[in-house]
Chain A
Amino acid sequence: MKELLILGAGTSGTMMSNSLRKALPQEKWNISIVDVEDTHYYQPGFLFLPFDIYTPKQLKRNIDAFIPKGVHLIQNKIDRIDKDQNTVILQDGVNIRYDILIIATGCHIAPEEIEGMQGPRWHKTIFDFYTFDGAKNLRDKLRDWEGGKLVVHISEMPIKCPVAPLEFAFLCDSYFSNKNMRDQVEITYVTPMSGAFTKPVATKELSYLLEQKNIKIVPDFNIEKVDTDNSKIIDYGGQEVAYDLLVTVPTNMGDEMTLRSGFGDELNYVPTNKFTLQSKVKENIFVIGDATDLPASKAGSVAHFQSDTLTENIQLYIAGKPLKESFDGHSNCFIETGNGKALLIDFNYDQEPVKGTFPIPGIGPLKLLKESRINHFGKLAFKWIYWNMLITGKPIPFVSSRMKLAGKEISNNDD
């Protein structure tokens, strides 16, 4: 028997276990998947949990609920990959040999990377919302917070779901407005980028949102440390921003297993071919989702589009044929703007987000780069799609893995 081993049973790994179990013959290929966790979280829901829009229960399932029959789930911690021996070594010393390896170990927040962030004030006045505990603790804090300076902050790029911090700031505006205390809350958005929006079309179409919602922007802020004694964040250039409540997205990093295996980059991401998803580490190692070092967004939709490329390429690899360079960096994200509205963006490696209709060109019903109620319902409906279609590897109607240019207002502006 041949062995295919998947590391990580999150969004990417679970999707791959489903699609590959269908694609590979049971009598020839064993498939195993390793993850230390018990729970599969609906991570897009972490954005809504602090505002009491979703309950904790809606965001959790048992990790084995979506692993198909015929795939062996191993609940253990991964120590390292020995690529020369085609073996994964688990923490308890057990070795698993593989013929093909898929790394789907994702990324996580690393607040310990920033001086002062993860001290005694962590989850007291400094919160993340990228973990279940962070989002839940922040919910409890917001429920009886009396107002003051609220700072929404990104430590450094790349981060998982790059638009989430902005959505968080928008949702704060409507949350505090609904509680009739918006005038007691000063919202500041602090980013290491040159602005909240960096792409030309999005900047033109969306900059009004910040003004409309009275959100102050501090751009070009590269955090050096959190001064918890004086409740302020300080950047390398000496800039300071004071907070009463700091909601930060700490540095995101890949799994330390890659460091122990000797091939992660400085943020523990795995060097990966951006079109084929084969690792640059060894030809029988493939990578998907947040664990890659690709210049694509770290997001569930990206992992979903990648899974089509990877499923096909694994079969081509087994057959000894050339891999397809079919992943185009396609990403598709809803962006909550508060007050029951949302935006939708669709883009890839080469094409920035533009206006248009989605998923059916010229019809929609969803509108790109424009606020609407239907986009908001699309975002809420996505939770159902995620649990029922996406991670079990069912195709989503009308949504193709490669980005379609039809129905989009594409100009020849190539900057």
Chain B
Amino acid sequence: MNEKTLAGYCIRCNDQGYLTDLEQWNKEVASEIAQEEGISMTDKHWEVIDYLQDQCRKEVAITIRKVGKSGVVNIKEFYQLFPKGPLKTASKIAGIPKPVSCI
């Protein structure tokens, strides 16, 4: 467990910079993580982030396909918004865990 100061907030995160407590998330923190990832947030980005957080709170496993069928973005748009591994980048900005396999 690490702590990191983002946008003036002291945030708990793992070794890879993923938040470990979604309650600590706010838009300023997210914008700073996005900046580190080379992304400047637009309304469409926030819409995707909202959707991911909602799915996470419902304890539903998130996949690229699911995002593509969400009605928020299609997969091509998801890649345009969050280039290079969109799901892991978007999850980081959304303050939710990185998608993992069993090992």
The judgment on whether A and B are partners is yes
Q: Contacts of B87 on A, CB cut-off 8 Å?
A: 222
Given the interface pairs A267-B65, A347-B102, the reply to whether A220 lies near B1 with Cβ below 8 Å is no
Complex contact A415–B20 (CB within 8 A):
yes
Contact A199 B102 (CB under 8 A): yes
In the complex, the chain B residue whose C-beta lies closest to that of A155 is: B65
Q: How large is the interface on A (under 10, 10 to 19, 20 to 34, 35 or more residues)?
A: 35 or more
- Measured CB to CB, the nearest residue on chain A to B61 is A295
B58 CB, min distance to chain A CBs, angstroms: 10
Complex contact B101–A198 (CB within 8 A): yes
Q: Mark A378-414, 1 if CB is under 8 A from B, else 0.
A: 0000000000000000000000000000000000011
| Distance of A194 Cα from B18 Cα, bound (Å) | 14
Q: How many residues of B contact A (CB 8 A)?
A: 29
- Complex: A48 Cα to B79 Cα, angstroms: 37
Bound Cα distance A267, B61 (Å): 11
Interface: A163 (CB within 8 A): yes
A156 at interface (Cβ–Cβ under 8 A)?
Answer: yes
- Chain A residues, CB < 8 A from B69: 266
- In the assembled complex, the Cα of A193 lies from the Cα of B78 at a distance in Å of 16
From B60, B64, B85, B101, A162 is in contact (CB under 8 Å) with B101
Interface residue A197 (Cβ < 8 Å from any Cβ of B)? yes
A322 within 8 A of B: no
Chain A minimum-CB-distance residue to B18:
A415
Name A's interface SS: loop
Query: Are B100 and A193 in contact, CB atoms less than 8 angstroms apart?
Result: yes
- Tell me whether A192 and B20 are in contact (CB under 8 A): no
Contact of B63 (CB < 8 Å), options: A156, A197, A333, A335: A156
Task: Kindly list chain A residues whose C-beta atoms are within 8 Å of the C-beta of B102.
Answer: 162-163, 199, 297, 331, 333, 345, 347, 353
Cβ of B66 within 8 Å of any chain A Cβ, yes or no, is yes
Cβ of A293 < 8 Å from any Cβ of B? yes
CA distance A274 to B60 in the complex (A): 11
Query: Binary interface profile of A, 251-292, with partner B (CB < 8 Å = 1, else 0)?
Result: 100000000000000110000001000000000000000000
* B84 interface residue per 8 A CB criterion: yes
B64 touching A198 by the CB < 8 A rule? no
Q: How far is the CB of B66 from chain A (nearest CB, A)?
A: 6
| 44-99 of chain B: CB within 8 A of chain A | 59-61, 63-66, 69, 75-76, 78-79, 83-85, 87-88, 98-99
A266: chain B residues within 8 A (beta carbon): 65-66, 69
A287 to B: closest C-beta gap in Å: 15
| B103 contacts A157, C-beta separation under 8 Å | no
User: Does A345 lie within 8 Å of B66, measured CB to CB?
Assistant: no
Give the distance to chain B from A325, nearest Cβ to Cβ, in Å: 14
B103 CB contact (under 8 Å) in A163, A194, A415: A163
Report the separation of the CA atoms of residues A219 and B83 in the bound assembly, to the nearest whole angstrom.
14
Give the interface of A toward B (CB within 8 A): 156-158, 162-163, 192-194, 197-200, 202, 206, 219-220, 222, 224, 236-237, 251, 266-267, 274, 293, 295, 297, 331, 333, 335, 345, 347, 353, 413-415
List 16 interface pairs A-B (beta carbons < 8 Å), by A numbering: A156-B65, A157-B63, A157-B99, A158-B63, A193-B101, A194-B99, A198-B101, A222-B75, A237-B84, A251-B65, A295-B59, A297-B102, A333-B102, A345-B102, A353-B103, A415-B15
